[in-house]
Amino acid sequence: MSKTIPLSGTKNGVISVTKIDEPYGAGSGTVASIGISLAGNADEPEWKVHIPLDNLDEVIQALSELKK
């Protein structure tokens, strides 16, 4: 699964969201990778974070609470 979202407030920026299996080698846990590219290159973001899938529900809840 992969999704690219336009980055609000920028001309070409994008947010990329993808699932990566074994990002740190064999046996490492699957992560959600969230990248930001101001240049619009979703394949080579300037910033990225990897969130273990075991933490994903809590992170989604925390992000949802920011909108309140």
| Confidence band, pLDDT 50/70/90 cuts, at residue 1 | confident
Torsion-angle region of 29 (φ positive above 0: left; ψ -120 to 50: alpha; else: beta):
beta
What are the pLDDT digits (tens) for 19-68?
999 999 999 999 999 999 999 999 999 999 999 999 999 999 999 999 98
Return the sign of the alpha-carbon dihedral for residues 41, 29, 51, 19.
positive
Residue span of the structural domain in which 41 resides: 2-66
Could you tell me which of 31, 27, 6 has the C-alpha nearest to residue 19?
31
| Domains of the chain: total | 1
Cα separation, 22 vs 19, in Å, equals 10
- The reported pLDDT for the residue numbered 40 is 96
- Say if CB 47 and CB 36 are below 8 A apart: yes
